[in-house]
Amino acid sequence: MMMVEDLVIHPLVERDTQSLQQLLPEIPIWVKCPDYDRVDWLNKFLELMWPYLDKAICRTAKNIAAPIIVEQIPKYKIDSVEFETLTLGSLPPTFQGMKVYVTDEKELMMEPYLKWASNPNVSVAVKAFGLKATVQVIDLQIFAAPRITLKPLVPSFPCFAKIFVSLMEKPHVDFGLKLLGADLMAIPGLYRFVQETIKDQVASMYLWPKALEVQILDPSKAMKRPVGILHVKILRAMKLRKKDLLGASDPYVKLKLTESKLPSKKTTVKHSNLNPEWNEEFSMVVKDPESQALEISVYDWEQIGKHDKMGTNVVPLRDLTPDESKTMTLDLLKNIDLNDAQNDKQRGQIVVELTYKPFKEEDLPKDFEESGTVLKAPEGTPPGGGVLVVIVHQAEDVEGKNHTNPYVRIIFKGEERKTKQVKKNRDPRWEEEFSFVLEESPVNDKLHVEVISTSTRIGLLHPKEVLGYIDISLSDVVHNTRINEKYHLIDSKTGRIQVELQWRTAK
């Protein structure tokens, strides 16, 4: 009787990387690289749509190739080149994983990892000198890591103006060629020559930072540009209704333009006062004076809990005469619906001074691309002041102890702005721009920038982590008008962040 030794079981964690790859040669990219997300849904979509996509892609390929063939064949004394059969086969490409970078009204950047082992039937017939030869393409394989960027994002369907496609590395392309039933790739040296030639040709055209650009929309028509500045002065309020049972209310005012993603502007809080005076001024960027309106809401500040709304009103910008100041006394309403019976109750009044200053034609940005130059601040910018523009480009080597889902928080003069969050990424890219309209030069001020990671998992002991921060002195940007630098993040071992600053004045 043959004796069999007991099996020795080793935990996977004891294996090194090379051993693991030998055991599991096809480890999905989202396992090896955690910053890639699974896209099973996309592969299922491709599987269902592939018969239709195959026909559409082949029809497009024929339309593109036809004029090129007609132009080229006279040079080589060839009578004709025609597709006898053209189908990409029954096996669709598969996406092993995808990275997605989201930026604020600028671009959507995707980096899928593509594998395609296809069974195509592509036969090309070449006629010359009374002879005909048919070349067949078989056993196509493509492995590629493209970067697909949709930009700029616009508020018109399909919501992006251009598609840019770059390759982050040379693609792997493999296929066979048959001529009259014989394998052409069996000719010594031909296989390697064809492979390397194709890789080099594709890489020379599309290897990052080079890109294939496809125009979808005219961005100048698709996106509305800033066309002016609304100056708002909150003067005072009268006869506000008391919200608290004990003592007077603590009112403050919130201002917001409709159709704007910028956060609301806020006045200071006037404690225990039902007839407060503020005399505080604000400036807001206007994109469409015909459709936008200024929302004015008065709130009762509470130290704990939700702030109660004391009343609101709306001023359509089309009611303002450009370049003329208009002082208005507005009744505070329960809500904007004028037919609501609750609006009959007296909630007090607020007095505001509004001035809409449209830009002159020369002040308008001409396109969406960064020219590297600093634009002048538009007319209507406060005298002696300007516009501070903060562009958060990207960060490198940031890492949290429990999670790394970074976003950037900017604090300047009490105002807070945030970028979108990028999940599972140590090298996030944002490309988001923020503007601050200032009454005076920020030569003595600092800008606080911090990279934060938050977890979406409920009950985590560390739901929020600061991955590093930097305080940037603004004296340099005031004197140089523009700086674009990478800063080492404080409280981070290796993290860096790239921030561009511009100081735009009317002069």
Q: Tens digit of pLDDT for each residue in 205-238?
A: 677 777 777 776 655 545 566 788 888 999 999 9
For residue 71, pLDDT beyond 60:
yes
Which residues have a Cβ under 8 Å from the Cβ of 398 and sit 6 or more positions away? 404, 406, 426, 427, 428, 451, 453, 467, 468, 489, 492, 495, 497
pLDDT of residue 228: 83
Handedness of CA 331, 337, 339, 341 (dihedral sign): negative
Q: What is the DSSP letter of 57?
A: H
Q: Return the residue matching tokens 């807001």.
A: 284
With pLDDT > 70 as the criterion, what percentage of the chain qualifies? 74
Higher pLDDT, 181 or 164: 164
| 94-102 and 496-504 strand pairing | unpaired
Higher pLDDT, 59 or 244: 59
Q: How confident is the model at residue 353 (pLDDT cuts 50, 70, 90)?
A: very high
pLDDT of residue 298: 92
**What are the E-state strand segments in 189-268?**
212-215, 228-238, 251-257, 265-266
With residue 23 as reference, give the H or E element that holds it: helix 17-23
pLDDT of residue 320: 92
Q: How far apart are CA 134 and CA 146, in angstroms?
A: 32
For residue 371, pLDDT beyond 50:
no
Q: Which SS3 state, helix, strand or coil, does residue 381 take?
A: coil
Q: How far apart are CA 113 and CA 13, in angstroms?
A: 26
Which residues have a Cβ under 8 Å from the Cβ of 101 and sit 6 or more positions away? 108, 109, 110, 111, 422, 425, 428, 429, 430
With residue 500 as reference, give the H or E element that holds it: strand 496-504
- CA angle at residue 160 from 159 to 161, to 5 degrees? 130
For residue 432, pLDDT beyond 60:
yes
For residue 388, pLDDT beyond 70:
yes
Q: How confident is the model at residue 29 (pLDDT cuts 50, 70, 90)?
A: low
The CA R_g of the chain, rounded to the nearest whole Å, is: 31
Backbone angles phi, psi at 134, to 5 degrees: -115, 125
For residue 34, pLDDT beyond 90:
no
Q: Name the burial class of residue 317, with classes exposed (0-12), middle (13-18) and buried (19+) by CB atoms within 10 angstroms of its CB.
A: buried
What pLDDT, in 10s, does the model give residues 263-317? Answer: 788 888 888 888 999 988 888 888 888 888 999 999 988 877 778 888 899 999 9
Q: Return the residue matching tokens 């892609």.
A: 57
**Own/partner pairs, 276-281, CB within 8 angstroms, 24+ separation:** 276/236, 276/237, 276/240, 276/251, 277/235, 277/236, 278/234, 278/235, 278/236, 278/253, 279/233, 279/234, 279/235, 279/236, 280/233, 280/234, 281/231, 281/232, 281/233, 281/234, 281/439
**Closest CA relative to residue 253, chosen from 307, 214, 208:** 307
**Closest CA relative to residue 274, chosen from 344, 216, 347:** 347
Q: How far apart are CA 252 and CA 244, in angstroms?
A: 15
pLDDT of residue 363: 52
Q: Which SS3 state, helix, strand or coil, does residue 249 take?
A: coil
Contact 167, 202 (CB under 8 A): yes
Contact 357, 379 (CB under 8 A): yes
pLDDT of residue 253: 92
Contact 65, 393 (CB under 8 A): no
Strands of 326-331's sheet in order across: 277-286, 228-238, 349-358, 326-331
- CA angle at residue 485 from 482 to 489, to 5 degrees? 135
Q: How far apart are CA 432 and CA 452, in angstroms?
A: 16
CA distances from 109 to 47, 150, 164, 292, 391 (A): 24, 6, 9, 30, 17
Question: If you count them, how many residues does the chain have?
Answer: 507
**Closest CA relative to residue 314, chosen from 280, 286, 354:** 354
Q: Which SS3 state, helix, strand or coil, does residue 150 take?
A: strand
Strands of 386-396's sheet in order across: 429-438, 386-396, 496-504, 482-488
Q: How far apart are CA 121 and CA 136, in angstroms?
A: 7
What pLDDT, in 10s, does the model give residues 280-290? Answer: 888 888 888 88
Contact 232, 273 (CB under 8 A): no
pLDDT of residue 10: 64
Average pLDDT, the chain: 79
Burial 415-438 (b: 16+ CB within 10 A, else e): eebebebbbbbbbbbbbbbbbbbb
pLDDT of residue 368: 36
Mean pLDDT of 325-341: 80
Q: Return the residue matching tokens 């396992």.
A: 31
